[in-house]
Amino acid sequence: MELAKRVQTLTPSSTLAITAMANALKAEGHDVIGLGAGEPDFNTPAHILEAAKEAMDKGYTKYTPSGGVPALKEAIVHKYKQDNDLTYETNQVIVTTGAKHALYTLFQTLLDPGEEVIVPAPYWVSYPEQIKLAEGTPVFITTNEETNFKLTPDQLEASITDRTKAIIINSPSNPTGMLYSKEELAAIGAVCLRHNVMIVSDEIYEQLIYGDEQHTSIAQISNELKNITIVINGVSKSHAMTGWRIGYALGNEKVIKAMTNLASHSTSNPTTISQYAALAAYTSSQEKVEEMKEAFAERLERLYEWITAIPGVYCEKPKGAFYLFPNVREAVQANGFDSVDDWVKAILEEEKVALVPGSGFGSPDNVRLSYATSLDQLEEAATRINRFVQKHQ
């Protein structure tokens, strides 16, 4: 059967591919440590589970408005006022089936064929595919360790054409864990304003920042920037709610209205019970979020130490999210492998540790390690990777 061209060129998610290989080895009885996960290992906090059960008991199991239940939209508006000092009206919010679907719907809403979206690399794997599905063209700007994987205003300026529609800013970033400062965002924002380029600000890791630095949304910098920014966020990472599938977009009323129309013909609405769970997540104590963050902070410190002690492995210390993104080119060469992808496969086969090769993120010299797993597992994984590297010298 001939499939549509739009799906023929889709590349399967590299994160999911390595997870599938690791699961196959596990099913054969091997003791596999998976560092590929893009989700917190914690359970959804108990009071959120209770709120979902209560929602079911109350009969909140029917359709809701396409853009989400009004109470949740209000809670999101309140969250952005309180945490980010940003004022939105509820008609500037759409609740979606995860942040992923907020992005998908946004690109479908914004892009005409051939319009370009600037994607700083390394990037989250779904951005390019979603842009292509909307018949847009992803334009990659390569960044590396020299600028802490951050895009410079000059690089941005040089990439803008008369077809440029938008740029994606993902801070803190998956996969690098890097965080843009307010000044850096202001400088990038100034270029966008000058060239009439919209900003898609993916803030899904906003709550997971370690050390003294603060998250700044680019929309906070000025009203002018707020007006050209669509903010994307959700509860998946902050509240350990990946399976509930609740995300959202905030911004220009006309864009949000069009996204809501589109949602009314695709998802109808995000799962009703999950919306009530997300409402509880935002309107109750954030103590559990803090606890999870502290656990991640400790893991980052330890894993960073263990990983950077391995010969030929170099790493910028992340400021947020739950990933390390070390450059392993030297180790890969010293071990006699042609590519990081082959090296990662060999580590999985020999030492049963699953890493994600950087190629899927547009950065072929790096690997991504997720520390959304226990300290014991992380220590054992680092020991095994070190053993592999030493053995193949």
Residues 104-163 that bind ligand PLP (CB under 6 A): 124
Count of residues in contact with ligand PLP, rule CB under 6 A: 13
Of 79 and 392, nearer to ligand PLP (C-beta) is 79
Interface stretch with ligand PLP, choices 215-223, 234-242, 353-361, 375-383 (CB under 6 A): 234-242
Of all residues in the shown chain, the one whose CB is closest to ligand PLP is 98
Q: Is 247 in the site for ligand PLP (CB under 6 A)?
A: yes
- Nearest distance, CB of residue 173 and ligand PLP, angstroms: 7
Interface of this chain with ligand PLP, residues 45 to 84, rule: CB under 6 A: none
Pairing mode, if any, of strands 137-142 and 93-96? unpaired
How far from 379 is each of 76, 113, 200, 330, CA to CA, in Å? 38, 48, 36, 22
Give 237 or 329: the residue with its C-beta nearer to ligand PLP. 237
* Closer residue to ligand PLP in complex, CB, 321/331: 321
* Residue 116 or 202 having the CB closest to ligand PLP: 202
2-36 residues labelled b (16+ CB within 10 A) or e (exposed) = eeeeeeeeeeebbbeebbebbeebeeeeeebbbbb
Interacting residue with ligand PLP among 34, 36, 67, 98 (CB under 6 A): 98
Could you say which of 14, 18, 33, 38 contacts ligand PLP (CB under 6 A)?
38
Q: Which stretch binds ligand PLP (CB under 6 A): 71-79, 95-103, 275-283, 291-299?
A: 95-103
We find the least distance from the C-beta atom of residue 4 to ligand PLP, in angstroms, to be 24
Quote the CA–CA distance of 197 and 159 in Å, as a whole number. Answer: 11
Nearer to ligand PLP, 100 or 319 (CB): 100
Looking at 97-105, 185-193, 270-278, 304-312, which segment touches ligand PLP (CB under 6 A)? Answer: 97-105
Contacting ligand PLP (CB under 6 A), which of 122, 128, 234, 251? 234
Binding mask 162-201 for ligand PLP (x = CB under 6 A): --------x---x---------------------------
Site for ligand PLP, residues 6 to 35, rule: CB under 6 A = none
Among 184, 202, 341, 365, which residue interacts with ligand PLP (rule: CB under 6 A)? 202
3-class secondary structure per residue, the chain: CCCCHHHHCCCCCHHHHHHHHHHHHHHCCCCCEECCCCCCCCCCCHHHHHHHHHHHHCCCCCCCCCCCCHHHHHHHHHHHHHHHCCCCCHHHEEEECHHHHHHHHHHHHHCCCCCEEEEEECCCCHHHHHHHHCCCEEEEEECCHHHCCCCCHHHHHHHCCCCEEEEEEECCCCCCCCCCCHHHHHHHHHHHHHHCCEEEEECCCCCCECCCCCCCCHHHCCHHHHHCEEEEEECCCCCCCHHHCCEEEECCHHHHHHHHHHHHHHCCCCCHHHHHHHHHHHHCCCHHHHHHHHHHHHHHHHHHHHHHCCCCCECCCCCECCEECCECHHHHHHCCCCCHHHHHHHHHHHHCEECEEHHHHCCCCEEEEECCCCHHHHHHHHHHHHHHHHHCC
Stretch that binds ligand PLP, among 3-11, 98-106, 147-155, 291-299 (CB under 6 A): 98-106
Q: How far is the CB of 247 from ligand PLP (least distance, A)?
A: 4
Q: Between 197 and 200, name the residue whose CB sits nearer to ligand PLP.
A: 200
**Min. distance of Cβ 38 from ligand PLP in angstroms?**
4
**Given the complex with ligand PLP, which of 100 and 293 has the nearer CB atom?**
100
Residues that bind ligand PLP (CB under 6 A): 38, 98-100, 124, 170, 174, 202, 204, 234, 236, 242, 247
